C-alpha cells in the first residue's frame, strides 16, 4: 500500500446528490489507483443544516454506491472539544462581537480590543500575513491557481467559531485532514478559493498541508445550477440505481465513456419533474455484483491526467 491517503467528507445536509457522488467516486478512484487508503468523514458540525438523523442515511447511500472507508468513519460532531482545544491553543485567535450587518459597514476592530468572553461572540483569526505566503497553489487537476483571481472572495479575518457556537468549516476541515493524515484532498471546484484560507491555517497551526485536486461542478444545462440540495435537485438514488449512478459518474470522470447515461438522466429528470418521487427502478438482483466489478475495473482504468476540467453539463 502506498502512503497516499484520500477522503470523501460530505456534509449530511440532506440525501446524496450527483455532485457529491462524483466527488466520492473521484476521491475513491484517485486513492485506489494510487494504491492508497480511502477514508470517509461526516462533516456534521452545522447542526441546524445537518440533523443527526441524516448521517446514517448518507452513510447507507455511500455504501449502496459501493464505497467504504478503510478506517473507522470520523464523525465531526463527536470531536467538538478537539476543535475548541485547537482554537484555544492558537495565539492569533481573537474574540469578535461584530454582527454581519456591522461588518458590512466597517472593518472588524475587535482584534485589538482583547474582548472578554460573551454570548453571541465569534472567534476569528487574522490570516492576512499567512495568506501573503500563498500567492498561488498547484492544483492536481486545474494546475496553477492564483490567489489574486479569488481575492474578492477571501475575508482574511476568518471565523473559527461562529457566533452561534458552531465550529467553522474551514477550521474543522484543516484539523481533520491533518488528524487523518490526508495527503491529497479531492473535492469540488467550489472550494478553490477556500483552499487559500486553509493553506494559511495549516501554516498558523504548524501542520503540513496536503495537496489539493479539484473537480469541476456538475451543472444542469437548462438552468446552469449545481445538482445540489439548495437547487432542489432530486436525490441521486431517486433518479438512478447505484449501478447506473456509477456508470454516469465514470462517464463524467472520463474513465469509461457512455453517453447513453446522460440520455437516461434526462429521461429520469423529466419523469421526476412531472411527478417528484423516486423514478429509479428497483435494482436487479445482480446489480450489487455488477457495481463491485465495474468499480474494480474503473480503478485499473482511472487516469488522473484525463480528469475533466470544464464544468460538467447535464
Ligand atoms: Zn469584530
Are 5-72+216-313 and 81-169 equal in CATH topology?
yes
114 C-alpha vs ligand 1 centroid, how far in Å?
10
111 C-alpha vs ligand 1 centroid, how far in Å?
7
Q: What is the dihedral of CA 227, 229, 234, 235, to 10 degrees?
A: 100
What's the predicted TM-score (pTM) here? 0.95
Give CA–CA dist 223/232, Å, rounded.
12
110 C-alpha vs ligand 1 centroid, how far in Å?
4
161 C-alpha vs ligand 1 centroid, how far in Å?
13
Which class in CATH covers the domain with range 5-72+216-313? alpha beta
Identify the pLDDT of residue 227. 78
Q: What is the DSSP letter of 167?
A: B
180 C-alpha vs ligand 1 centroid, how far in Å?
32
191 C-alpha vs ligand 1 centroid, how far in Å?
25
Which fold is adopted by the domain 81-169?
Rossmann fold (3.40.50)
199 C-alpha vs ligand 1 centroid, how far in Å?
23
250 C-alpha vs ligand 1 centroid, how far in Å?
46
Domain ranges of the chain: 5-72+216-313, 81-169
Q: What is the DSSP letter of 118?
A: -
Identify the pLDDT of residue 162. 96
Can you read off the three cell numbers belonging to residue 238?
431517486
Task: Give backbone dihedrals phi and psi of 232, rounded to 5 degrees, phi first.
Answer: 60, 35
66 C-alpha vs ligand 1 centroid, how far in Å?
46
Ion ligand 1 — residues with CB < 5 Å: 96, 98, 108, 110
Residues 6 or more apart whose CB falls under 8 angstroms from that of 97 comprise 110, 115, 118, 120, 121
Identify the pLDDT of residue 100. 83
98 C-alpha vs ligand 1 centroid, how far in Å?
4
156 C-alpha vs ligand 1 centroid, how far in Å?
12
166 C-alpha vs ligand 1 centroid, how far in Å?
17
Identify the pLDDT of residue 103. 84
67 C-alpha vs ligand 1 centroid, how far in Å?
43
145 C-alpha vs ligand 1 centroid, how far in Å?
30
For 204-232, give one letter per residue: b (16+ CB within 10 A) or e. bbeeebbebbbbbbbbbeeeeebbbbeee
205 C-alpha vs ligand 1 centroid, how far in Å?
22
Q: What is the mean pLDDT for each group of 10 consecutive residues in the chain (314 residues)? A: 95 94 98 98 97 97 98 98 97 93 88 92 96 98 97 93 97 98 97 98 98 95 79 90 98 96 94 92 95 98 94 90
Amino acid at each position: 500500500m502506498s502512503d497516499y491517503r484520500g477522503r470523501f467528507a460530505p456534509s449530511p445536509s440532506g440525501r446524496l446528490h450527483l455532485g457529491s457522488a462524483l466527488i466520492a467516486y473521484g476521491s475513491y478512484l484517485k486513492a485506489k489507483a494510487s494504491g492508497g487508503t480511502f477514508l470517509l468523514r461526516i462533516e456534521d458540525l452545522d447542526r441546524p443544516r445537518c440533523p443527526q438523523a441524516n448521517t446514517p442515511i448518507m452513510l447507507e447511500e455511500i455504501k449502496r454506491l459501493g464505497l467504504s472507508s478503510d478506517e473507522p468513519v470520523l464523525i465531526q460532531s463527536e470531536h467538538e472539544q478537539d476543535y475548541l482545544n485547537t482554537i484555544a491553543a492558537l495565539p492569533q485567535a481573537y474574540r469578535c462581537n461584530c454582527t454581519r450587518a456591522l461588518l458590512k459597514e466597517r472593518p472588524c476592530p475587535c482584534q485589538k480590543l482583547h474582548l472578554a468572553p460573551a454570548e453571541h461572540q465569534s472567534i476569528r483569526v487574522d490570516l492576512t500575513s499567512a495568506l501573503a505566503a500563498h500567492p498561488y497553489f498547484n492544483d492536481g487537476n486545474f494546475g496553477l491557481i492564483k490567489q489574486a483571481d479569488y481575492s474578492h472572495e477571501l475575508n482574511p479575518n476568518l471565523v473559527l467559531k461562529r457566533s452561534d457556537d458552531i465550529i467553522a468549516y474551514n477550521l474543522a476541515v484543516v484539523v481533520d485532514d491533518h488528524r487523518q493524515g490526508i495527503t491529497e484532498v479531492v473535492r469540488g471546484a467550489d472550494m478553490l478559493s477556500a483552499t487559500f484560507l486553509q493553506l494559511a491555517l495549516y501554516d498558523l497551526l504548524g501542520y503540513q498541508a496536503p495537496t489539493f485536486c479539484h473537480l469541476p461542478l456538475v451543472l444542469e444545462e437548462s438552468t446552469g445550477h449545481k445538482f445540489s440540495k439548495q437547487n432542489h435537485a432530486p436525490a441521486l438514488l431517486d433518479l438512478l440505481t447505484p449501478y447506473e449512478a456509477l456508470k454516469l459518474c465514470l462517464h463524467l470522470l472520463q474513465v469509461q465513456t457512455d453517453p447513453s447515461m446522460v440520455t437516461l438522466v434526462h429521461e429520469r429528470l423529466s419523469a421526476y419533474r412531472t411527478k417528484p418521487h423516486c423514478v429509479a427502478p428497483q435494482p436487479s438482483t445482480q446489480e450489487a455484483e455488477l457495481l463491485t466489478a465495474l468499480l474494480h475495473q474503473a480503478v485499473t482504468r482511472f487516469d488522473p491526467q484525463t480528469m475533466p476540467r470544464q464544468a460538467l453539463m447535464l
